[in-house]
Copies of this chain bind each other. A is one copy, B any other.
Amino acid sequence: MTEFGFTLLGNDGAARIGRLATAHGEIETPVFMPVGTAATVKAVTPEEVAASGAQIVLANTYHLMLRPGAERIARLGGLHRFMNWPRPILTDSGGYQVMSLASLRRLDENGVTFQSHIDGSRHELTPERSIEIQGLLGSTIAMVFDECTSWPVSEGDAETSMLLSMRWAERSKAAFVPNPGYGLFGIVQGSVFPTLRERSARRLAEIGFDGYAIGGLAVGEGMDAMLDTVGFTAPLLPANKPRYLMGVGKPADLVAAVQRGIDMFDCVLPTRSGRTGQAFTRRGTVNVRNARHADDPRPLDEQCVCPACRSYSRAYLHHLTKSSEILGAILLTRHNLQRFQDLMVGLRAAISGRRLAAFAAAFAEDEAKGDIAPM
C-alpha cells in the first residue's frame, strides 16, 4: 500500500517542486485544486476536470454533511465513488463554511453548533466529528477542524482564536485514524501577526502532521498583507512537508505564493468566474459578456488547448453567456480550469529549470498587456 508522503524534487529560491504520494495517486506540486463543494466541480464533468490537468479536487465537509450526509456517502462507497473522481480528494474541515454560511452559530471550547443554511436543521461540528466525517467521506487529505479567524481582528482576539484552533488541531490529530496513503494536515492561524503565526506553526509541528496549511487568509486583508503573511509564515513550516495556502487565489496570487514556498492551492475563482462570464487568459481576465466580443471570430486565448478555445469563437461564448445558456458555464469553467492548470505546469517547469524569476516577469508582463484589441 502506498504510504502518504512528500518528496521535495527541487527548488528555485524559496519556490519548491515536489511529489505527493497518496492512496489515490501521485500529485506533482505546486498544485492547484479545483473546488468541488457539493461533490461536483460546478458545471463540468469529472472527465473534463481531469482533462484540464487537475490532479486533486477539494470538497467541502460542511456542505456534504448537510446534503447528502456523510454516513450516506459512506454507505454508497465513499466520496470518490459517489462523484466518480478516483484521484485524490482533499476535504476542508467545515470550520470555515460553518462561520460563513450557517446561522444561529454557537462556538465554545467543544466546537460549533449551528443551523443548516439549507433546511434549518441543527448540527454540531467538533474536531472529533469533523475528522469522523472526513473519514466517512474517504478523504485522501483531511484538514484539522479550526476556527478561521475573522478580519479585521485585534492581536489579542487573534491569539485567543489561534490558541483554540491549536487545541482543536491536537484533538483532530487524536481523532484521526491513520490509514496508509491518507493524510491529515494542520492549519496555521494567527491572522497577520508574525509572532502568532510563529507560535501556531511551532505548535503544529510539535503535534506533527502530514502537511501544513496557512489558514485565515484571503478573508479581506488584501493581497499585500496576504503575501507578507505567506512570506514570513512559509519558512516557519517543516520543509519536508507540503505547504497549502487555503482559498487562494487569482493567477498572480498563485505565482507570488509559489515564489514564497507554497505547494498547494484551492480557490473557487476559476469555477465561479466560469459561471459569470469571466475568463482567465494569459492576458488577464476577459469579461465575455462585454459587447466587444459579439462579432469576434477569434478564440478566447489562442495559446489555450481547452475545448472552449479550440472549437468556439468569442462571439459564440458571448452569445451563450448573454443567453444564460448552460453551455456557456460549461465552456468557460472548462477554460478557466485549463488556464489555472497550465499556469501550474508552467510554474513547475520554471522551478525545475531554475528560471522562476523570468517566468514570473513574463507572466506579469503578459497579464499587464490586457486583452487583445477588438477587431
List residues of chain B with CB within 8 A of the CB of A327. 40, 42-45
**Cα distance A43–B84 in the bound complex, in angstroms:** 19
List residues of chain B with CB within 8 A of the CB of A307. 45, 47
A68 within 8 A of B: yes
Least CB separation from A118: chain B residue: B323
Q: In the complex, are the beta carbons of A68 and B294 less than 8 A apart?
A: yes
**Cα distance A323–B323 in the bound complex, in angstroms:** 23
Given contacts A82-B313, A315-B82, A330-B326, contact A40 B320 (CB under 8 A): yes
A322 within 8 A of B: yes
Nearest-neighbour CB distance to chain B for A25, whole angstroms, equals 18
A90 within 8 A of B: no
Given contacts A323-B67, A330-B326, contact A72 B42 (CB under 8 A): no
A38 within 8 A of B: yes
Q: In the complex, are the beta carbons of B312 and A38 less than 8 A apart?
A: no
Q: In the complex, are the beta carbons of A326 and B323 less than 8 A apart?
A: no
Q: In the complex, are the beta carbons of A72 and B329 less than 8 A apart?
A: no
A297 within 8 A of B: yes
A325 within 8 A of B: yes
Q: Identify which of B77, B84, B325 contacts A38 (C-beta below 8 A).
A: B325
Q: In the complex, are the beta carbons of B316 and A83 less than 8 A apart?
A: yes
**Cα distance A92–B45 in the bound complex, in angstroms:** 32
Interface of chain A residues 37 through 63 with chain B (CB within 8 A): 38-40, 42-45, 47
Q: In the complex, are the beta carbons of A82 and B316 less than 8 A apart?
A: yes
Q: In the complex, are the beta carbons of A76 and B326 less than 8 A apart?
A: no
List residues of chain B with CB within 8 A of the CB of A319. 38-39, 67-68, 82
Nearest-neighbour CB distance to chain B for A84, whole angstroms, equals 5
**Cα distance A31–B269 in the bound complex, in angstroms:** 42
Given contacts A68-B315, A319-B38, contact A326 B43 (CB under 8 A): yes
A 315-338 to B, binary, CB cutoff 8 A, 1 in contact else 0: 110111011011101110000000
Nearest-neighbour CB distance to chain B for A323, whole angstroms, equals 5
**Cα distance A43–B18 in the bound complex, in angstroms:** 38
Interface of chain A residues 272 through 323 with chain B (CB within 8 A): 275, 294-295, 297, 307, 311-313, 315-316, 318-320, 322-323
Least CB separation from A63: chain B residue: B323
**Cα distance A44–B39 in the bound complex, in angstroms:** 20
**Cα distance A327–B297 in the bound complex, in angstroms:** 28
**Cα distance A294–B38 in the bound complex, in angstroms:** 15
Given contacts A68-B319, A75-B295, A319-B68, contact A325 B40 (CB under 8 A): yes
List residues of chain B with CB within 8 A of the CB of A326. 40, 42-43, 275, 326, 329-330
List residues of chain B with CB within 8 A of the CB of A322. 67-68
**Cα distance A315–B68 in the bound complex, in angstroms:** 9
Least CB separation from A331: chain B residue: B45
27 contacts between A and B (CB under 8 A): A38-B319, A39-B316, A39-B319, A40-B320, A40-B325, A42-B325, A42-B326, A42-B327, A44-B327, A45-B307, A45-B330, A45-B331, A47-B307, A67-B322, A67-B323, A68-B294, A68-B322, A72-B294, A72-B315, A76-B295, A76-B297, A76-B313, A77-B297, A83-B316, A275-B326, A326-B326, A330-B330
